[in-house]
């Protein structure tokens, strides 16, 4: 058997060696003769002897030499030293992270200063040794003849970092400017030295502009020649110089004049006549320039004859002189006197909103600002009209009174200014707002927003509708008459007074007949008009008017109220501008169908904040699940985080807002203040004292405005987390200076839940598709009858009935101009913890879904009883068989119970003392 086995093996091996494609021989060759077996055995035994020479030939190797051992030793020492140095540097880097930022900046500056000393030693004094050779190779080879200026440049940069560590935003500008300046100068030096190439040797290039000069000039010379290369490099040099000095081209004469005045070469410009004017004459001149008229004549004819003025240009000049202070004025707004700028703005607003048909002007319906109405009523008692002294001077000089004909017949909507004879100091007006750091932030000018024309107050269509309404009342024998109307930009409200013993229900019952008579399906009846003994019938205008955002912001009330959260909404049906203070709303729900004007309203809110508030006053969190609505505001300095488009990240941002609210309340409670405004005022006045040993630096808290463009998308992704965060914010965040604006185009009960509605008191409804949606938003009908495109109903906090208004409109060009102005002022400063929570995010498996609570209860029940039965889960948890089976499968996948064994109970794999770890693992609280 042994010989047969070995014979098979040798035969198979030989066959495989000779014919690789064939397998071992068939079974009939398994019984060979004894001689053959002996030969095969012998050959098998001799086989190793034949292979021995090959092994002996491969075995001999050269003996290791002593030089090879030294090489490996040196290599090991070098790698070990490299690893040690790398570990040391990494340790230094980790330790540097714990340093104060000021120390890190000083370290960089001192490092540059040391590098400047080394380069100076290598270039100025011909330092010998490896360091000198390296400096000559790098610095002289790169900069050529200008290598002597490199230490000065490095030293200047180091000194700037030491003296101005709070200006890191200018570092990028300086690097770009210096790069352009160096490239341009070295290129010109290289051309002036004959443009040597690499074939001329390194010494020739070092005597010219170096490698940088060669790389800058060679392509230009090769493509365009020296005639064009020199001017282009000269332009690059000038550009670098302008960038380094932060000087625009149009400001070069002013900078040169300023430099000459500092050096004493040029006298500073001044106007002696203007210096001799008194304050009263200055303000009279401003009022005289701001009086509206139809045209403006040249300044050469101004002294010859009285001329008329352009209202747009007059108001632009007046408002351009006005800048709001970032800090609230020490003098309250209620007791603040009006100067010429305020009067000019009020006069221009009066001309736009005047009612020409003799009806009294409507007040601002949503007047949530500081006591403007009270001040108007109080100051209206016999105060002289602005410009009275100008009229007296004109009469004395025999000149006609300016603007008298234009104001005839127009109700005066301006606020009467207090008498100039009273010695009340004018409020200080700062041209620019100083922020922390040495940053100067200038608010955008209202000139960036377009101005609309005066609205219509009456048309032939209004007279036709009045006649139609009168015919309807006559035909149906209703004792009622149309006594007047007020025309708004979108609808006109007709006032109907009833006769004796006529029920109001008789008018409301004629709604369809009235709609038929005026040929308009969107007729809304108000019974009665708030504050009047009349029934209102709102009928859409056939010629709608647009309300520009700039007109609303130019209103005198808006110009006087310095609150940063005052926003422009639109114009009501009575012709009055509607504004609202978000800090007093304090949260608002904006809803409407697609195309109703909801997005335009959000744009107006954001633009109003950008125009009136600095980033230190208001910070914003913008949530845009649609990804296209708010992209125009990317990069504005008011943002506290980049625009959030992921609904899951939006839920994290809302959780961060909750944490920020808690931190603010901790400070309010610790220092004994009830509102963030009081706390900020105390911080500015230095009344808040930190405990001894505290290293914290107190600064005023900015208002935090959270705008969610589409609430429905958030409620679909994480309804529980989003609703809990919104409810908590709306319940508590008012005193902390955090305000929420929620917008949705699907106002259903699963999106705008009862808890959200109960805590968001202010509502703004645009056109909806059904009566049910209107009831969800306003808790009453009305929004389903709106005509869209900005037509809305505004229900502020505390109001019983909503007010109809036409939302303001801002164009994309205006938004782009405002955004670009804000970006030019400063770069945004983002916080990294907005979308990433301070604690580790809980990672819950996706297969659990909404069954987390049930799964935790099932795991606790199974582990505590050590009995894994599906029927027990059905009884104890009161769930169906399918749900109980799914819970058991989830526990099996987490090794809580064993596999199914038919009708038997499953084995429990977890001990009762391990229950807490299992529950934490299910909730995602462990780092597994």
pLDDT, one tens digit per residue, over 291-304 is: 333 333 333 333 34
**712 in any annotated domain:** yes
The more confident residue out of 302 and 342 is: 342
The more confident residue out of 261 and 464 is: 464
| Least confident window among 142-151, 169-178, 631-640, 823-832 | 169-178
Q: Does one domain contain both 202 and 329?
A: no
Contacts of 901 (CB under 8 A, 6+ apart): 907
Nearest alpha-carbon partner for 776 in 759, 799, 757, 803 = 757
Tokens 């005023």 sit at which residue? 700
Tokens 């708030």 sit at which residue? 530
The pLDDT of residue 522:
83
**Kind and range of the H or E run holding 684:** helix 676-684
The pLDDT of residue 833:
78
User: How far out from the chain centre does Cα 309 lie?
Assistant: 40
Contacts of 177 (CB under 8 A, 6+ apart): 239, 240, 241, 242, 243, 244, 245
**424 in any annotated domain:** no
The pLDDT of residue 408:
39
**155 in any annotated domain:** yes
| Least confident window among 373-387, 617-631, 713-727, 797-811 | 373-387
The pLDDT of residue 427:
33
User: How far out from the chain centre does Cα 710 lie?
Assistant: 16
Copy the structure tokens of residue 158. 């180091």
The stretch 786-811 carries a mean pLDDT of 90
Q: Does one domain contain both 743 and 891?
A: no
pLDDT above 90: residue 425: no
DSSP label at 384? P
d(CA 786, CA 598) in angstroms, rounded, equals 13
- Answer with the one of 230, 263, 296 that is the final residue of a domain: 263
User: How far out from the chain centre does Cα 554 lie?
Assistant: 25
Q: Determine contact, residues 557/514, Cβ cutoff 8 Å.
A: no
| Beta-sheet pairing, 566-572 with 762-766 | unpaired
The pLDDT of residue 815:
94
Q: How many helices (H) and strands (E) does the chain have?
A: 36, 15
Residue 848 DSSP SS3: coil
Per-residue pLDDT reduced to its tens digit, 194-221: 888 878 887 888 888 888 888 888 888 8
Q: What are phi and psi of 482, to 5 degrees?
A: -85, 115
pLDDT above 80: residue 132: no
Copy the structure tokens of residue 406. 């234009």
Q: How many independent structural domains does the chain possess?
A: 6
| Least confident window among 77-91, 193-207, 326-340 | 326-340
The pLDDT of residue 496:
92
d(CA 709, CA 126) in angstroms, rounded, equals 67
Burial environment of residue 740 by CB neighbours within 10 A (0 to 12, 13 to 18, 19 or more) = buried
| Beta-sheet pairing, 535-540 with 588-591 | unpaired
- Answer with the one of 376, 399, 434 that is the final residue of a domain: 434
Q: Does one domain contain both 290 and 256?
A: no
d(CA 403, CA 922) in angstroms, rounded, equals 79
Nearest alpha-carbon partner for 482 in 492, 197, 491 = 492
Per-residue pLDDT reduced to its tens digit, 36-57: 444 444 444 444 444 444 444 5
**206 in any annotated domain:** yes
Q: Does one domain contain both 91 and 39?
A: no
Q: Does one domain contain both 618 and 766?
A: yes
d(CA 193, CA 711) in angstroms, rounded, equals 68
Paired residues of 619 in beta bridges: 704
Confidence category of residue 430, pLDDT binned at 50, 70, 90 = very low
The stretch 246-275 carries a mean pLDDT of 69
| Beta-sheet pairing, 703-708 with 738-744 | parallel
Of 274-288, 384-398, 494-508, 547-561, the range with the highest mean pLDDT is 494-508
Q: Does one domain contain both 732 and 816?
A: yes
d(CA 114, CA 120) in angstroms, rounded, equals 10
Of 363-367, 394-398, 789-793, the range with the highest mean pLDDT is 789-793
- Answer with the one of 382, 399, 434 that is the final residue of a domain: 434
The stretch 392-415 carries a mean pLDDT of 39
The pLDDT of residue 199:
80
**551 in any annotated domain:** no
Copy the structure tokens of residue 259. 């430099």
The pLDDT of residue 85:
78
Q: What is the CATH number of the domain that holds 912?
A: 1.10.10.10
Please provide the distance, in angstroms rounded to a whole number, between the alpha carbons at the two ends of the chain.
60
Q: Does one domain contain both 788 and 866?
A: no
**520 in any annotated domain:** yes
d(CA 325, CA 533) in angstroms, rounded, equals 44
The mean pLDDT of the chain is: 74
- How crowded is the C-beta side of 653, counted as CA atoms within 13 Å? 28
Rounded (5°) CA angle 617-620-625: 170
Confidence category of residue 246, pLDDT binned at 50, 70, 90 = confident
Nearest alpha-carbon partner for 167 in 105, 112, 115, 110 = 105
| Least confident window among 7-16, 494-503, 778-787 | 7-16
The pLDDT of residue 34:
42
pLDDT above 70: residue 280: no
Q: Does one domain contain both 337 and 397?
A: yes
pLDDT above 70: residue 269: no
Q: Does one domain contain both 120 and 243?
A: yes
Confidence category of residue 643, pLDDT binned at 50, 70, 90 = very high
d(CA 148, CA 126) in angstroms, rounded, equals 11
The pLDDT of residue 95:
58
User: How far out from the chain centre does Cα 506 lie?
Assistant: 52
Residue numbers of the domain that contains 464? 460-540
d(CA 626, CA 790) in angstroms, rounded, equals 20
Nearest alpha-carbon partner for 499 in 529, 471, 533, 530 = 533
Q: What are phi and psi of 519, to 5 degrees?
A: 60, 45
- From edge to edge, which strands make up the β-sheet containing 524-526? 480-487, 491-498, 535-540, 524-526
- From edge to edge, which strands make up the β-sheet containing 618-623? 577-581, 566-572, 803-807, 791-795, 762-766, 588-591, 738-744, 703-708, 618-623
Q: Does one domain contain both 130 and 93?
A: yes
The stretch 556-566 carries a mean pLDDT of 74
Q: Does one domain contain both 238 and 379?
A: no
Confidence category of residue 767, pLDDT binned at 50, 70, 90 = very high
pLDDT above 50: residue 653: yes
Per-residue pLDDT reduced to its tens digit, 118-131: 888 878 877 777 87
Other Cβ atoms closer than 10 A to 321? 13
Q: Determine contact, residues 884/895, Cβ cutoff 8 Å.
A: no
d(CA 341, CA 604) in angstroms, rounded, equals 25
Of 120-124, 150-154, 340-344, 471-475, the range with the highest mean pLDDT is 471-475
**274 in any annotated domain:** no
The pLDDT of residue 293:
36
Tokens 């040169």 sit at which residue? 256
Q: Does one domain contain both 609 and 738?
A: yes
Q: What is the CATH number of the domain that holds 511?
A: 3.30.980.40
**61 in any annotated domain:** no
Per-residue pLDDT reduced to its tens digit, 822-856: 999 988 888 887 876 444 445 556 677 778 888 89
Confidence category of residue 372, pLDDT binned at 50, 70, 90 = very low
Report pTM.
Answer: 0.49
């Amino acid at each position: 058997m042994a010989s047969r086995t070995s014979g098979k093996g040798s035969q198979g091996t030989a066959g495989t060696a000779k014919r690789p494609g064939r397998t071992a021989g068939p079974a009939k060759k398994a019984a060979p003769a004894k001689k053959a077996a002996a030969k095969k055995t012998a050959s098998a035994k001799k086989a190793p002897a034949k292979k021995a020479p090959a092994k002996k030939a491969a075995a001999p190797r050269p003996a290791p030499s002593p030089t090879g051992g030294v090489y490996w030793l040196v290599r090991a020492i070098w790698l070990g030293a490299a690893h040690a140095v790398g570990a040391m540097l990494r340790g230094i880097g980790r330790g540097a992270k714990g340093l104060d930022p000021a120390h890190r900046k000083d370290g960089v500056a001192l490092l540059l200063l040391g590098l400047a000393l080394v380069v100076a030693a290598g270039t100025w004094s011909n330092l010998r040794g490896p360091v000198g050779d390296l400096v000559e190779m790098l610095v002289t080879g790169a900069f050529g003849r200008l290598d002597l200026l490199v230490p000065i440049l490095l030293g200047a940069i180091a000194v700037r970092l030491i003296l101005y560590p709070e200006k890191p935003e200018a570092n990028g500008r300086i690097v770009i400017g210096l790069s352009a300046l160096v490239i341009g100068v070295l290129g010109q030096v290289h051309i002036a030295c004959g443009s040597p190439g690499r074939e001329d040797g390194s010494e020739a290039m070092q005597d010219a502009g170096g490698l940088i000069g060669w790389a800058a000039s060679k392509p230009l010379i090769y493509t365009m020649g020296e005639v064009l290369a020199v001017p282009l490099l000269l332009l690059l040099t000038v550009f670098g110089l302008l960038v380094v000095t932060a000087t625009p081209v149009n400001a070069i004469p002013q900078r040169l004049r300023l430099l000459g005045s500092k050096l004493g070469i040029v006298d500073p410009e001044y106007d002696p006549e203007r210096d001799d004017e008194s304050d009263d004459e200055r303000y009279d001149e401003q009022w005289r320039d701001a009086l509206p008229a139809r045209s403006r004549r040249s300044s050469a004819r101004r002294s010859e004859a009285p001329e008329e003025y352009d209202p747009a240009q007059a108001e632009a000049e007046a408002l351009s002189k006005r800048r709001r202070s970032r800090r609230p004025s020490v003098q309250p707004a209620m007791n603040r006197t009006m100067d010429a700028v305020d009067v000019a703005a009020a006069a221009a607003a009066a001309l736009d909103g005047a009612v020409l048909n003799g009806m009294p002007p409507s007040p601002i319906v949503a007047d949530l600002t500081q006591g403007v109405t009270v001040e108007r009523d109080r100051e209206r008692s016999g105060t002289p009209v602005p410009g009275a002294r100008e009229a007296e001077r004109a009469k004395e000089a025999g000149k006609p009174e300016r603007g008298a004909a234009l104001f005839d017949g127009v109700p005066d909507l301006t606020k009467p200014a207090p008498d100039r004879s009273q010695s009340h100091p004018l409020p200080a007006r700062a041209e620019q707002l100083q922020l922390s750091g040495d940053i100067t932030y200038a608010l955008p000018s209202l000139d960036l927003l377009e101005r609309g024309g005066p609205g219509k107050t009456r048309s032939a269509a209004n007279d036709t509708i009045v006649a139609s309404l009168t015919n309807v009342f006559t035909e149906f024998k209703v004792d009622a008459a149309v006594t007047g109307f007020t025309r708004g930009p979108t609808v006109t409200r007709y006032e109907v007074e009833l006769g004796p013993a006529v029920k109001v229900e008789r008018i409301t019952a004629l709604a369809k007949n009235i709609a038929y008579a005026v040929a308009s399906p969107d007729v809304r009846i108000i019974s009665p008009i708030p504050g009047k003994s009349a029934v209102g019938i709102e009928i859409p205008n056939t010629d709608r008017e647009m309300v520009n955002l700039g007109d609303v912001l130019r209103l005198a009330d808006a110009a006087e109220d310095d609150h940063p959260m005052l926003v422009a909404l639109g114009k009501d049906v009575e012709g009055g501008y509607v504004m609202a203070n978000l800090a007093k709303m304090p949260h608002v729900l904006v809803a409407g169908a697609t195309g109703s004007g909801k997005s335009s309203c959000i744009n107006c809110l954001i633009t109003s904040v950008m125009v009136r508030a600095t980033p230190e006053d208001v910070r914003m969190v913008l949530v845009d699940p649609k990804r296209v609505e708010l992209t125009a505001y990317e990069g504005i300095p008011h943002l506290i985080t980049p625009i959030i488009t992921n609904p899951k990240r939006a839920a994290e941002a809302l959780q961060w807002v909750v944490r920020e609210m808690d931190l603010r309340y901790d400070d309010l409670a610790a220092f004994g203040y009830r509102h963030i405004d009081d706390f900020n005022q105390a911080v500015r006045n230095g009344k808040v004292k930190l405990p001894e040993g505290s290293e914290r630096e107190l600064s005023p808290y900015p208002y935090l405005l959270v705008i969610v463009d589409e609430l429905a998308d958030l409620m679909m992704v994480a309804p529980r987390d989003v609703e809990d965060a919104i409810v908590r914010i709306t319940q508590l965040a008012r005193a902390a200076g955090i305000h929420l604006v929620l917008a949705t185009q699907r106002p259903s009960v699963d999106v705008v839940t009862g808890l959200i509605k109960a805590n968001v008191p202010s509502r703004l409804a645009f056109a909806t598709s059904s009566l049910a949606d209107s009831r969800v938003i306003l808790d009453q009908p009305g929004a389903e009858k709106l005509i869209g495109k900005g037509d809305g109903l505004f229900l502020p906090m505390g109001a019983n009935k909503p007010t109809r208004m036409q939302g303001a409109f801002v164009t994309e060009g205006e938004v782009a101009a405002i955004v670009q102005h804000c970006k030019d002022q400063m770069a945004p400063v983002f916080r990294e913890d907005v979308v990433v929570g301070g604690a580790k995010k809980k990672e819950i498996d996706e297969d659990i879904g909404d069954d987390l609570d049930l799964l935790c209860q099932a795991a606790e029940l199974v582990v505590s009883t050590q009995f894994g039965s599906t029927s027990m889960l059905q009884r104890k948890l009161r769930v169906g068989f399918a749900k109980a089976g799914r819970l058991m499968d989830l526990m099996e996948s987490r090794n809580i119970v064993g596999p199914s064994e038919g009708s038997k109970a499953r084995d429990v794999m977890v001990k009762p003392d391990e229950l807490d770890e299992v529950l934490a693992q299910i909730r995602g609280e462990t780092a597994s």
